[in-house]
Amino acid sequence: MSSAAAEAVRLLTVRGETLAVAESLTGGLVAAAITAVPGASKAFRGSVTAYATELKHRVLGVDAELLAAGGAVDPRVAAQMAVGVRVAMGADWGLATTGVAGPEPQDGQPVGTVFVAVDGPFGAGEGSAPGGKVRELRLNGDRAEIRRESVRSVLALLLEELAGERTGNARAQDTERNGGF
């Protein structure tokens, strides 16, 4: 069990918020890390593993023209996946992973190019531009290492947002870390 996943579940539970995940290159590993945490059902709504590019459009609502123009390995695709899964599953937070784990390049992107995204209550929601955050990763290693680091990175991004770095609310951040006291 990942300590980042455990901390995310703890913070979401304390806040009374929920999470949904859209995955491509990680193929369900993010959802597996979260559901390995006892009590995850209090915060985790579900996930979509949209490995095929057309599913990113059909299931998650990613813009078809964007996918046709540049492929699935794009920061805007990651952002739209996070919004799409959040809206589709009625969650407060949405996470997304898309990228190239290898062994071959994809969509003109080299192996190790990954985009992770989070969309949350600060986002614009359905039909609007995402209000979330996307992080580009350039990872080294074999396929398994790239996938593992992608999981770690998307959970770290969620924790940053949950900790209040977006709002700068240090008091709320400190209160959450100390169990509400």
CATH superfamily ID and name for 3-177? CinA-like (3.90.950.20)
The token pair at 157 is 């991004």
Share of the chain above pLDDT 70, in %: 85
Give residues with Cβ within 8 angstroms of 22, minimum separation 6. Answer: 47, 48, 50, 60, 81, 82, 84, 85, 94, 95, 96, 97
The token pair at 130 is 């995402």
Neighbours of 144 (CB within 10 A): 11
Rg (CA), the chain: 15
Size of the chain, expressed as the number of residues it contains? 181
Q: Among 18-22, 75-79, 84-88, 176-180, which stretch is predicted with the lowest mean pLDDT?
A: 176-180
Report the SS3 class of residue 104. Answer: coil
DSSP type of residue 157: H
According to DSSP, the residues that pair with 23 across neighbouring strands are: 49, 97
pTM confidence score: 0.87
The answer on pLDDT for 176 being more than 70 is no
The answer on pLDDT for 80 being more than 90 is yes
CA–CA separation, 173 and 179 (whole Å)? 10
* pLDDT score recorded for residue 101: 97
* pLDDT score recorded for residue 164: 73
* pLDDT score recorded for residue 153: 98
Indicate the burial class of 132 (C-beta count within 10 angstroms; 0-12, 13-18, 19 or more). buried
Do residues 97 and 33 make contact, with C-beta atoms less than 8 angstroms apart? no
